[in-house]
Amino acid sequence: MSVNPTLNYLKSEQSLVMMCFSESVTTSDKYLKGAGGIGDDGFPLPLGGTLEGLQVHDGTDTESDDKSIPFSAGDRISIYAVHDVNIFIVYVRINGINTTLSASPLAENTNLLATVTVRLTE
């Protein structure tokens, strides 16, 4: 059985944690990779809680959004960058569905660095 360091980290930390994601983007939609270089449908969270914020840096500018979006234990959190004409819009996803927590406009053909603030409450 392999050890999941992200899960262990989330279980051992206080209720407020930061999850970091990054990826090089060009001109197509793309998942940002999280811990261990894993992207796609996201990381399962060990407890329920709320997504509190998103900050994304594109090498020049930082865009952010603050909302309180609830999630349940076992929900999967991911970051998805959507290309729209000459910019990217970055969304936080829960179980593969975009939430209203998003950041834009972000540059194309760059490295996107994203941080999601998560409050675990259960």
Q: pTM, whole model, 2 decimals?
A: 0.85
pLDDT at 1: 45
Residue-wise pLDDT tens digits, 62-120: 999 999 999 999 999 999 999 999 999 999 999 999 999 999 999 999 999 999 999 98
Extended strands (E) in 12-96: 16-25, 30-32, 43-44, 49-57, 62-71, 76-84, 87-94
Domain boundaries of the chain, sorted by first residue: 5-120
List beta partners, residue 14: none
